[in-house]
Amino acid sequence: MAEWSSSVGDMGVEAAFWSARRVLVTGNTGFKGSWLTLWLRRLGADVTGLADAVPTEPSLYRLAALGDDVPQHWVDVRDADGVAAAVRAVRPEIVIHMAAQPMVRRSFASPLQTYAVNVMGSAHVLDAVRTCDDTRVVVNVTTDKCYENREWEWGYREDEPMGGHDPYSSSKGCAELVTAAYRSSFLAERGVRVASARAGNVIGGGDWGEDRLVPDIMRGALAGQAIPIRRPDAVRPWQHVLNPLHGYLTLAQAAWDDPAHATAYNFGPDDADAQPVAAVVERLSERWDGPLAIVTDEGPHPHEATYLKLDSSRAKARLGWRPTWDLARGLDATAQWYLALRDGAPAADTTDAQIRRFAEDAA
């Protein structure tokens, strides 16, 4: 694994800050968690993961051989004692909590599991931090779906009411309330800066999540099979995975320096990149090097919001963050990642190259 050069900087994400910093990433075996772990390793951080399993097969975690050099605690966040023991062992200076049940459709089939993981799992992590003298910053990663969705044409701001029609969205709104309560009741007085980060629909290489647009397209493309698409008119705030991860790192660093950043932040794309599903399918198809067989899945489907996007003015004004790659660039990088995998390129090398390119573009 190549070393991250301290000369590569990007809008406040500094290798000097992260070098040898003890960081616990929950949910590190997932799609976003694996990208974040690779980035932190290249910044020189001392990263440890916490997860109950590898959620998909294949997975970026295994393809990039992250288990070879990243210490791992195999713990379910629903296990309060296990989480507390892991935090005591790691003594993290920074916790980035990403472990979750992340699927809207699965939440209809398993609502109790969804609430147990997303609400009580978050409470267990925060409660473990409550007794850890080493932790200074916690970033709890939730979702744009934590907001009470009113099908507005404009983006949601951080002070909008929490809500959610489906168990997944509702559970993430609850996780935000739990985060705020732990911040106010316990952690602020101990000097722990607790922030939350809300991002929308992310795309990128190495995602094999179920019932997700880009993974569904890539599975069909790689297998030469028909690709069912549901709700082609639904608008989502699409962005490459590195955009919000860049926001999480920037936020953690800012909160370390100033407790005023211990609050909620949106990390969403610019308005032009809140696009309907059909537009993303068309653009991604153009970037593949062969025809894709797209069919419309008429359902029936459980309820999902039709229109949803974020207002990221707070992150731009207070953190100096902005989306570095627009949707077109993100789709390019996504298609290139899967094409490289198909052609036999090592996933770790492709991912590393894209992280480096992103950092250069952001500098």
Q: What is the pLDDT of residues 177-219, one digit of tens each?
A: 999 999 999 999 999 999 999 998 899 999 999 888 999 999 9
* Cβ atoms of residues 279 and 210 within 8 Å: no
pTM: 0.93
Other beta carbons less than 10 A from residue 72's beta carbon: 15
Residue 31's closest CA among 55, 53, 11, 6? 55
Name the token pair of 327: 């949707």
- If one looks up domain 15-200+240-269+306-324 in CATH, what number appears? 3.40.50.720
Whether 343 has a pLDDT exceeding 80, the answer reads yes
Identify the pLDDT of residue 307.
67
Other beta carbons less than 10 A from residue 343's beta carbon: 7
User: Domain map of the chain by residue range?
Assistant: 15-200+240-269+306-324
Using DSSP, state whether 265 is helix, strand or coil.
strand
Whether 298 has a pLDDT exceeding 70, the answer reads no
